[in-house]
Structure 1
Amino acid sequence: MPLLIDDFSWKETAQHVYIDVPLKGVKPSQVDVFTTDVYIKISYPPYLFETRLLDAANEDKSSVTLSSGVAKIVLEKSESKLWKTLHHPESKNKEWMREERRLALEHAHRKAQSNQQEMAVKRREAERFALQKQMKQEEEAKEAIQTAKQRVRDETVAEIEEWKAKEEIAGRILDQMEEESKVPEPKPRVLTAKELIAKSKTASKSVSTALPPTRQSGRIEVSFTPRILPTPMRESKIAEEEEWLGKMAQAGRAGTETAAQDKDKDMTERNPLWLRDKGNEFYQAGDYLSAINAYTEAIEIDSTLPSLFSNRAACYLHLKRYEDCVEDCTQALSRLTPPIEANSVSRCRAHVRRAAAWTKLGNHEEALRDYQEARKLDPRNEQLRRDAERVEKRLSSA
């Protein structure tokens, strides 16, 4: 149980109350002080000073000072009058004092919350003020920069205008100097009729003598390098074209040798080229069997000519012998090497015929592949494009 301090002293005026509480040798740091407008407690175990004031005091203008040996309390009265006693008459009632302590604690708690809210408001106001001040400073800095830029622009424009004015003045001075340095030309004298006639005769003579002599006619002979193939010559294709021409020449020699060996038959009937032309005539007449016979006999004489296989494949296609058509087109393409521009039409024709045969046989993948090769050789052919699209649709729907 704490020991109550009763050896304190106090005095008053109409406005203030002065209380001295002895600390009994305790350091100020070990003293606990709690005050409200009507309640005071000073505690340093085991001693305790506690009082419920007679009347209310102004908390904000009251103070407690802890010095060596004594705690000095100065209270400012809420009303200007003399109390004549420090304690409330009910201070000796323990229950009543317990309730006063509770009320004092609640009062202190509410005041602390109020102070905290006030501090928060003040802090927000201070932050808002600082932000406004910063924004104002930034705005002033921005305006200062804009002003400086405008000043630099104005100075630059003024310098340019001054330079232009100086250049204009210098130009006028130079023009004036040039005008002054020019020698005035004499006014032209009007010629008489005789002088004009004489001058025109002199001019015509000088013109006739100044003209160069007429160029003599001549003839320039131009010779061209002979070329067998109908397509333009390209250096990158010379080796392939020579290989192709060599194959054609070899085929022609083979046909001539075979015709010379067979003396019982007419020379023309043993010529593969004559038989090919004969087969073409049968084909044009719609006699596909006779055309096949002519092409077959020519192939037996010379199997190196790709046109024989390609033409016979066309006949097989009309007769719906699609497998034979595919075989002959393959044989023709194997002989149309190397692939050059001169045989591009023949290669395209062989691919188209084989594609048609593959389509009839139901092999749409091979047909599409042949149509694509033919389109590379003849990209502007709209019929080839439509045929390829038709086969591609069949493949996608399968």
Structure 2
Amino acid sequence: MPILVKDYTWQQTEKEIFISVPLKGVAAGASNVMCTESYIKANFTPFLFEVFLFAPIDVDRSITKIGNGIILFTLYKQEPSIWDSLSIANADKETMKRLRENAITRVQEKAKEDAQSKAARKRENEKYSLEIMMKIDEEERKRIENLKEEERRKASEDLEKFKDQQRLEEQREQKRKEEEKQRNALNKSMFSDSPKSSIQAQKHKIEKVVPPTRKCGSIKIQFTPRVFPTALRESRMAEEEEWLQKQAEARRAINTDNLDLQDLKEEEKNPEWLKDKGNKLFAAGDYLAAVNALNLAIRLNDKMPTLYLNRSACHLKLRNLHKTIEDASKALELLTPPVPDNAAARLKAYVRRGTAFCELELYVEGLQDYEAALKIEPSNINVKSDAEKIRRIIQGTSPDPE
């Protein structure tokens, strides 16, 4: 039984209450304090200090300081007044028990609300980070596309300049050949025995020689469809593949439920393969990736209890306590009827759900799950020891678990 501390001192003003409780040689870090509107408790083994307050206080503004061998409470009254005493006078055991239970319930509810709020903030932060990353990747993709378009345009211009230069060279060559041919014909006629009129006719014939007109046409080229429209010789294949892979990973990380099953590889369509992959990721400490693998496996087959059981272990590691309870409950629902073959799985489900309840300070519910696990395997020393610790916490004979 704890030793009640009675040698405390207190003072008050119309708006504030000051309580000083001696630690009696106990280290400051070994004390556990709980404060509600009408109840204050400080547990520093083997001593216990508790007060059922005369009137309600403002918990959000009140302050507790531990140090220099004392616990100092600064409490703010909800309504300014001078109290006749610090605690309720002549309170019977039933009233104290009811007030104590109400205080514990209020603290558990607040802890649950804080945990839910923290989890919601974490999800919002993760979603915001992923959106920023996707935006950066999209901008990078546009930059790469612009570079490729610029390179394509420059290559097209260089090709047109090359073609124009080739046409000019061909025209010059053709003209040179024609002139050479005319000179040869003229020289030949000058040294021949033909009359003068024949020479003039030959000259007239040479002057009328006109080179043939070049034929023009177009060549149709068909390319295989690609994500990026540049030609293969201009492609930055490594950058494209890296961008596509990042997009796929981002879609999976944001929401596995919206993932298109047609994008999956053949082995990713096998729930057993995904379960083994989740086990490997869990063993490597990558619990979030393990949850994603198990989410996809559950989409493919939602009747396998081991998938929910394994995902509950991942959520327990990630401190997603409410999700741990949901997955363990779903696994127990599928593990029916209870037979010796599924006894080990049911034992794990009860222990994990009981652990999550205790982390939420719902010790009564946690003890019920541990006792259900002991019915499956009464000789399990670890489960029996943990159940006894929870029972002592509920009875108020042990500090909160480490």
TM-score (norm 2): 0.40
User: Which fold has the larger relative contact order, with Cα–Cα distance below 8 Å and residues 6 or more apart in sequence?
Assistant: 2
TM-score (norm 1): 0.40
| Higher-Rg member (1/2) | 1
